[in-house]
Structure 1
């Protein structure tokens, strides 16, 4: 039996009878619903729900989108993403008429499914993320190629969105495009961040002290590694790459009770605090590196840039109470209209 959360008429944002594409809450809700649509397409596939029995279509049709193409993982044939195309209705009184703020395409990626034949592949990719080798997966390559194809077709106002593992894939794709001068609007829900759970420390002084120490250690290691002539060229390339990303401002949606993504809160808040105590230069250097990456450089092994290294972002924090991790990590919270949200934009 299908979960009520899969049924749009029960759990969807039915309050959005008139979508205002300039409203940040509406934009967030639509992006989250597209991700939910991908999740349910995979569940429809697993449970062989077809035609009138399929539960996924209302999640995008309600907003006048149609499927342009599905993104299929070649390892297990699961649906991990979709390219949605806006198809405005001819009725001039319709709430979803195209405006300059309306996305022409939304490319959405689901996260890990815990049931069915896709779980083992999703878990493998979760481990790829932890080991910082997600960029080597065929799923990431397919995602990047899909976005490049849509952008190359001349489509304007393309959005990227994803949840959890899907947010990591969207983040990797967005960073790849930004480094080539193409800035795609991105809505990333509960993006994973591999780090000790510093954000969960209740004592603010202890938490801030740990972050300051970490910044000075990371910056010191960066200076030491850059001093080695063999790594100077790579260090310069990394700095240039980081500066290119500064103009790209993805929207990150995080919950402080979700340890999978909560460290993004401290990552950006700490940068502002370091500038406040006159250590902005140290933090800017530390923000471009990870300790693991610097260690790999020091021993002569190439490392890939960690996904969480971002110079700029708009961070929205859900301050509403969550009963457990499942609720705090769920994508459903991001289309509800009864949440207490706080947003702040950080720019490098």
Structure 2
């Protein structure tokens, strides 16, 4: 474990955090995005504090949640490598000039970090990254611990406002938890930063060829569903119905190959509607969802997709968490609903 090593500037809130938020308006989507990303960063710094043995006054993590009126209920610790992979935050019940419209703040936020390329965590994190690609993340103990944490908050808070937030690998955990909780009949708000999109089609560079493959795949899936006599539309009581109403917030960067596949995924759905083939696409999506043993982790029915339009000089910036609270953020948001 590293000790007595100075923190990098990017770990220190007053140097790299959203210090421009001198007053929080919880009705402002940009403020909500920035704070959700900061709470995820708080998990990263919690683990870095642990690795570098920074405690009490030397710890750098607290400002990442204290600054927005949250307190840390507790970290989530991986049972394999003892690393901190998540955190449960509770919003303090107070109003001030800083926290305007505080009644619209979440009561609880459960946040999850992504991969940390340090010896203490890299082996475990990379193994979980591979599980994401293989659609086996649900078999990991880290996911099970995340589900237990969310269920414990639901048991205590009931129908109060609960947010899930995550970045990269943590975003995949948040997405999987959110889908499972939604199927159970609970409502959670999710902020997913750079969520991994695991689909082999994304390796195709030619745009027209990629579109052709997508259309062909949709037609084949719809045909298979018809041949097997599956429902042509969702039936009352199906988990499909609840998932179609869940609208997580997705934040992607087109220069990040890990998450950029979501852009083409939702563009394809729009294109199928424009080609008057929307019914085929909906049946294809339903067919994928019903195959529960191989349901792609990235499969979403509805989402509010935000694309970062700012140029990223390298992969590290395109995939990083810091871009999502940049005061000069230039983004485009679009709601995609499964009708």
Q: TM-score, normalised by structure 1?
A: 0.89
The counterpart of 1:194, out of the listed 175, 193, 198, is 198
Whether 1:209 and 2:212 are equivalent positions in the alignment is yes
SS of residue in 2 equivalent to 1:111: coil
* Cα 1:55–1:197 shift into 2, 3 Å: farther
SS of residue in 2 equivalent to 1:81: strand
What is the CA deviation profile of residues 174-220 of structure 1, one whole-angstrom value per residue up to 9, with x for unaligned ones? Answer: 000111111200000000011135487464x4443332122112323
> What CA RMSD, in Å, does the superposition of the two structures yield over aligned residues?
2.3
What are the equivalent positions in structure 2 for 1:123-138 lying under 5 Å apart?
123-138=126-141
* Cα 1:116–1:97 shift into 2, 3 Å: farther
- 1:189–1:331 contact (8 Å) kept in structure 2: yes
2:337 maps to which residue? 347
Q: Distance in 2 between matches of 1:319 and 1:201?
A: 20
The counterpart of 1:164, out of the listed 158, 168, 177, is 168
What are the equivalent positions in structure 2 for 1:10-29 lying under 5 Å apart?
10-29=15-34
Q: Distance in 2 between matches of 1:253 and 1:334?
A: 8
What are the equivalent positions in structure 2 for 1:99-178 lying under 5 Å apart?
99-154=102-157, 156-178=160-182
- State the 1:321 CA deviation: 0.3
The counterpart of 2:327, out of the listed 319, 328, 337, is 337
SS of residue in 1 equivalent to 2:68: coil
Unaligned 5+ runs, structure 2:
1-5
Matched length: 331
* Cα 1:65–1:93 shift into 2, 3 Å: closer
* Cα 1:52–1:200 shift into 2, 3 Å: farther
- State the 1:269 CA deviation: 1.5
Q: Distance in 2 between matches of 1:241 and 1:259?
A: 30
The counterpart of 2:293, out of the listed 272, 283, 303, is 303
2:258 maps to which residue? 260
- State the 1:339 CA deviation: 1.9
SS of residue in 2 equivalent to 1:288: helix
- State the 1:164 CA deviation: 0.4
What is the CA deviation profile of residues 31-52 of structure 1, one whole-angstrom value per residue up to 9, with x for unaligned ones? Answer: 0000000001101101111111
- State the 1:118 CA deviation: 1.3
SS of residue in 2 equivalent to 1:249: coil
1:240 maps to which residue? 238
What is the CA deviation profile of residues 150-189 of structure 1, one whole-angstrom value per residue up to 9, with x for unaligned ones? Answer: 1121251110000000000000100001111112000000
Q: Distance in 2 between matches of 1:97 and 1:200?
A: 47
The counterpart of 1:82, out of the listed 66, 79, 87, is 87
- 2:244–2:301 contact (8 Å) kept in structure 1: yes
Q: TM-score, normalised by structure 2?
A: 0.91
Whether 1:67 and 2:72 are equivalent positions in the alignment is yes
SS of residue in 2 equivalent to 1:221: helix
- 1:88–1:97 contact (8 Å) kept in structure 2: no
What is the CA deviation profile of residues 36-79 of structure 1, one whole-angstrom value per residue up to 9, with x for unaligned ones? Answer: 00001101101111111111111111111110121111111110
1:314 maps to which residue? 304
1:34 maps to which residue? 39
